[in-house]
Structure 1
Amino acid sequence: MQTPNENYTRNIYTLIGEENYNEVIRILENELHSFPDSTAIHSIMAYCYWQQEDYAKATTSYAKLVQLNPNNDSYKLHLAHCQYKTEQYYEAMRSSCGVQGDALKSQTSLLQAAIRYAEEDIQSAKSILAEADQEDIDIMMDTACILYKEDRFEEALDKYMEVKRIHGFIPEVAYCIALCYYRLNRFSETVQMITEIKSQASRQHPELLRSLAGDSVDFDAQGLIQKAKDAYVVEAVNLISALDYDQRHFKEARDVLRELPNRNEEDLDPITLHNTAIVTMEDDPSASFNKLTFLLQLDVKPPETFRNLLIGYCKFDYYSYAADLLAENMQDAVKSMGQPMLDFLDAYLLCANSKEEAYRKFDELCKVNADILRRLLREVDESRKTHDDQQQMALTLQFEAAVNDLIPVLMSQAKIFWDLEKYQLVELLLMKYADFCIDNRTWKLNLAHTYFMEPGKMADAISLYEPLVLGEEHLLDVEAIIVADLCAAYVIIEQNEMADNLINRLTEEEATKQKEDENVKLYHLSIIHLVIGTLYCAHRNFEFGIDYVFKAFNPMHQKLNADTWFYAKKCLLELIRSLALRQYMIPDVLFDKICTFLDDVDKNGKKIDSIIDLTLQAEEARENQTISFEARVIKAMLLKMYSF
């Protein structure tokens, strides 16, 4: 026979087993009125709050338990953990210092090291770990973590590999090894380790196999999301996406994220949501900005969130949005970016009001970066002489990172001259840093663009464009504007056969992609036709130029968007301007062709925003912001000029 108390206790633990923590808390809160100093009640409530990740309330419960049980080291340690989770680092350290027993010494050392690490006091964290048991797996992991934090990736890798040798395969360790390989630019080994993580996950959880193979699975219904996280599949897939993105394989970076458990966007973990925003920013900046803004409001978010949102605004020249974001989050900015990045952003935001002052600041930053690069080059040469391969590798990575720091500053400085159409000055500025940037793709690409705009230097542009384009197996993997510029360059120097070869290759590749996915959106051919058409229109060869522009919209319902329409209407408006100045007489055939085109645009563009404001949602567009409206206006202007 069971007593009421036994039934009561059984009910409580049954609810806990069912993870119905809210109901447990509701019941025990009522009991607290009768037993305010019950250790059992406060202990269970603290546990439930912890499981719910409500660390603030868990802190209150454990503080009460410490008050009721001043000699209980376990409660003191739990209290310190909760305070650490709520970023009360001083209080957490003080609570952990109250733990006196040897039984919890190792756990206490780990927590204290984590507290110092969170406070950016790396030396203190290292000192704490140095006094702990060096064979303890958690101590080894934390030591490796600190080495990684100090950018000592080779040493961190060795420590993680040691853990793997001693303790076998552990998903977290395997992911950390992959991350170290990634930071060391050992990408093939990164991929191998991620493959091992996915393979182990599939063996331990066969139900994950379908997702990893790219099949769509309703993971919410099967309750497997947590298993995917525990197996570090989420982190591994995000890392391979980052690797693809770094190598400019943007489509692959997007596609690989689809291997993850099939979830609604609002259910995505912060890392996946962040990376989804990054890999889709070029195609849908507005949605990416919304995702990153949402993440900023969360307590737990990827540390790069603020930086990437700010850089995203800058990339699309939203100076006011960037300035407001920076002003409202200066503390986060200092913490997540450091002074060099803040100095760059300060100079960048000056471009909106004072280009002269912005140029001066960019120049100062470039000189600082150049001094660092010269020093690193000397040290690399010295390491070669001493045959110190490990030192040489570390210095080479530092040099590449320093070049990557220089490039955005240099390109922002050059853009000031570019916007003023002073292309020779752009060339001189880029060549000033050629010794450091000669192998950098961004530098070579922008130098090619500069040559493209300078009279008599088209051959130089082609010599830089060709390795970037012809060196790729698939032209669709190259940015469309680069292929388009190369085609236009061939046309300008009358190598039309070379341009036709590129266009034919792209036609075949787009047709193949279209067969694989009928809904895929491909714009490479469209952009090539627009660039070549614009080139002819600029020289008032409107019959040929307009015909090329119209080819960019075949089929209209797939190719019409704000970007393609922007370049098409520029050509049409140039034609209308020439008509108004009586510099051109439009043939009837071309007039009819343009009217038919504009009617087709009017039909297909009623719900497409024509204003390229990436902070607006398409549904927010007013009627006179649509492509349809602009097509009707241009047709009215054309009719007026035709009768003029």
Structure 2
Amino acid sequence: MPLTTIKDGEYTATVYKMIKEGRYGDAINILSKEHQKHNKSRAALSLLGYCYYHMQDFTNAAECYEQLTQLHPEVEDYKLYYAQSLYGACAFPEAMKATFLLDSTTSHTKMIKLQAAITYGEEDFSGAKTLVEQLPQDDPDYDVDLGCLLYKEGEYEEACIKFMSSMNVLGYQPDLAYNIALCYYSLKQYASALKYIAEMIERGIREHPELSIGMTTEGIDVRSVGNTLVLHETALIEAFNLKAAIEYQLKNYVAAQEALTDMPPRSEEELDPVTLHNQALMNMDTKPTEGFEKLAFLLQQNPFPPVTFGNLLLLYCKYEYFDLAADVLAENAHLTYKFLTPYLYEFLDAIITCQTAPEEAFRKFDEIAGKLTEQLRNVTKQEARHNQDDESLKKYVQDYDEVLERYIPVLMAQAKIYWNRENYSMVEKIFHKSLEFCNEHDTWKLNVAHVLFMQDNKYKEAIGFYEPIVKKHYENILNVSAIVLANLCVSYIMTSQNEEAEELMRKIEKEEEQISYDDPDKKIFHLCIVNLVIGTLYCAKGNYDFGISRVIKSLEPYNKKLGTDTWFYAKRCFLSLLENMAKHMIMLKDSVVQECIQFLEHCELYGKDVPAIIEQPLEEDRMHIGKNTVTYESRLIKAVFCEVTGWNE
């Protein structure tokens, strides 16, 4: 029966059918009209509250049950549902107040459980524990509640035991499986966590095909499944978010993004705070503006994921919005002590100070580094002092790695202060001081290689650091950053190891050809950038005839090689050439001049949809869309080129 043809008085059976089918939104549309028509109809109001609750719209559910408690104070269930709805809406003080209206003789256990949950939500964990201990120990929720409290205290192994014990008693439950997976995640036992997540997802696909799991990733256009109670009970949203977090920690960024698109589809306004946060974080490279908007929005919500505050500040600093980071810190001083560790606060403070007082910032970084190196030495001493079993040794290694992961960003921030001043010898000294702790760390080794490369006379030493990075991924060489491959090739050339450079370039070319065969439309820039950097090297040494020719050939074919990054390298060489020609410091052969003009014309033809620069995501004064293209810039350079060379005459 179409909804528009339902007659008065016939709505109840239809609504029950809709509720049974999980069509709560359709049921709400009918019930809202009936409720208004019959002036606070008890039946309509009760069903409305039920539907809102099942859609996880706790605020509207609470309004319905509040009216029912006023109209029918004798019904104890309405008081309970009212308190539960307030709790779901995170209105904790109001929810606690509502529990005092319950009849403790008939609803004592339910009241205690709800009060414990409210106190837990308010982060009063000792108060929650006191309430949980009032429950009978044979109550099914007793071990679960204790497990949650143990988790909050950082006792992840004990919490996991409690959840597993509950699972043995109650049978398989998605929320318990998720809790176990979360404990393993916190213990950094990712394989065990993923095992439980995989089971949750498999059961979800098998038992709830209506939730369209994985459809969005497959590119199938499906409607929102809504925030139904069924979705909540499957814990699938939590499972996919945890899977995304694990893949992100393991640096499997594509898998992390897929985990978010695999989850049951919902419209953006229906997304929970954790999903919204993860979407912002994991798509930051491709959608930074959207990411900043989501994180800033979450910061105004209550509650929001605890890591939101720190991540927003770190991302502002990463994109060099230091003023915005300083403003957010100043405006949210009340959040600083709650959501930032002392280390993170000191680190952010030092980074922001870099912009106005780099020497003071260096001193602040030095203080942080001093504390961390002391911690690293202490962990090393403890490990050496005791005869360790495998588990203890694993814990010491884990503790050491955690401190080291905090130390590396501090070290890099210190080095960047001198890198920006092109004082590479000082950067090398800073890295040398950290040799004791960082000599096995990939980030440290990569940056040491870069700073040696930049000093011109240390190419041989740079090779010693670049080669292990490349050999580690030699069978999948395109997994190595293009600039690392380019710098290694240049280092080979500068140390007369041309055969090694050519062999490396053949390896890159072979892998690119395979990818082009598998996916003809895919743009791959590795070999192009290697050739561009080599061409730049020859231009820097004054051999523009060879250098510019190398740059030009590197971008062929233009439809596959012309991109924002490759254009950046190419135009630097052309601008350097023009500057030297304008000063009459060099002369080009006519054949090379003609080659340059043809190259710029090709860039003009193929660069219409290629941005000349990637603008900052929060930039207010954006370039005109027609000017931020390779086509526009290549026309400008061509015009200057013709003027300098007199090509039009």
TM-score by length of 2: 0.85
CA distance in 1, matches of 2:104, 2:75: 9
Deviation at 1:45, TM superposition (A): 4.2
**Structure 2 residues not aligned, in runs of 5+:** 1-6
CA distance in 2, matches of 1:15, 1:208: 17
Out of 519-528 and 298-307, give the one that drifted further. 298-307
CA distance in 1, matches of 2:280, 2:81: 36
Counterpart of 2:467?
A: 466
Counterpart of 2:516?
A: 514
Counterpart of 1:529?
A: 531
Counterpart of 1:31?
A: 38
Counterpart of 1:22?
A: 29
Counterpart of 1:118?
A: 121
Counterpart of 1:605?
A: 607
Out of 563-572 and 331-340, give the one that drifted further. 331-340
CA distance in 1, matches of 2:226, 2:91: 34
SS of residue paired to 2:223: helix
1:242 aligns with 2:249: no
Counterpart residue type for residue 149 of structure 1: K
CA deviations on 1:144-170 (whole Å, 9 max, x unpaired) are 333333333323333333333334433
Counterpart residue type for residue 84 of structure 2: H
Deviation at 1:492, TM superposition (A): 2.4
Counterpart of 1:376?
A: 379
Answer yes or no: is the 8 Å Cα contact 2:112–2:131 preserved in 1: yes
Answer yes or no: is the 8 Å Cα contact 2:86–2:94 preserved in 1: yes
Counterpart residue type for residue 87 of structure 2: Y
**Structure 1 residues not aligned, in runs of 5+:** none
Out of 355-364 and 275-284, give the one that drifted further. 275-284
Out of 342-351 and 202-211, give the one that drifted further. 202-211
CA deviations on 1:23-79 (whole Å, 9 max, x unpaired) are 3123213433xx6xx765654443344345443343344344445555655334333
Answer yes or no: is the 8 Å Cα contact 1:147–1:156 preserved in 2: yes
Deviation at 1:415, TM superposition (A): 0.8
CA distance in 2, matches of 1:266, 1:483: 44
Deviation at 1:210, TM superposition (A): 8.6
SS of residue paired to 1:624: coil
CA deviations on 1:93-121 (whole Å, 9 max, x unpaired) are 23334445365444433333332333232
1:498 aligns with 2:500: yes
CA deviations on 1:303-355 (whole Å, 9 max, x unpaired) are 43443333223212232343344445554555443443233222212222222
Among 570, 575, 578, the residue aligned to 1:576: 578
1:127 aligns with 2:135: no
CA distance in 2, matches of 1:502, 1:229: 53
Counterpart of 2:143?
A: 140
Counterpart of 1:427?
A: 428
CA deviations on 1:589-609 (whole Å, 9 max, x unpaired) are 221221111111122223443
What is the 5 A alignment of 1:348-497? Answer: 348-382=351-385, 384-385=386-387, 387=388, 389-472=390-473, 473-497=475-499
Call closer, same or farther: CA 1:29–1:394 in 2, change over 3 Å: farther
CA distance in 1, matches of 2:136, 2:467: 58
Aligned-pair identity (%): 37
CA distance in 1, matches of 2:226, 2:270: 13
CA distance in 2, matches of 1:42, 1:241: 39
CA distance in 1, matches of 2:496, 2:404: 37
CA distance in 2, matches of 1:524, 1:404: 29
CA distance in 1, matches of 2:8, 2:290: 55
Deviation at 1:420, TM superposition (A): 0.9
Counterpart residue type for residue 342 of structure 1: Y
- RMSD (Å) for aligned C-alpha atoms: 3.7
CA distance in 2, matches of 1:156, 1:605: 58
Deviation at 1:273, TM superposition (A): 5.0
Out of 40-49 and 310-319, give the one that drifted further. 40-49
1:621 aligns with 2:624: yes
TM-score by length of 1: 0.86
Deviation at 1:559, TM superposition (A): 3.2
What is the 5 A alignment of 1:147-226? Answer: 147-205=150-208, 211=214, 215-220=218-223
SS of residue paired to 1:586: coil
SS of residue paired to 1:87: coil
SS of residue paired to 2:417: helix
Answer yes or no: is the 8 Å Cα contact 1:25–1:48 preserved in 2: no
SS of residue paired to 1:74: helix
1:282 aligns with 2:285: yes
Counterpart of 2:551?
A: 549
CA distance in 2, matches of 1:95, 1:225: 24
Call closer, same or farther: CA 1:131–1:5 in 2, change over 3 Å: same
Call closer, same or farther: CA 1:441–1:231 in 2, change over 3 Å: farther
Counterpart residue type for residue 24 of structure 1: L
Deviation at 1:416, TM superposition (A): 0.6
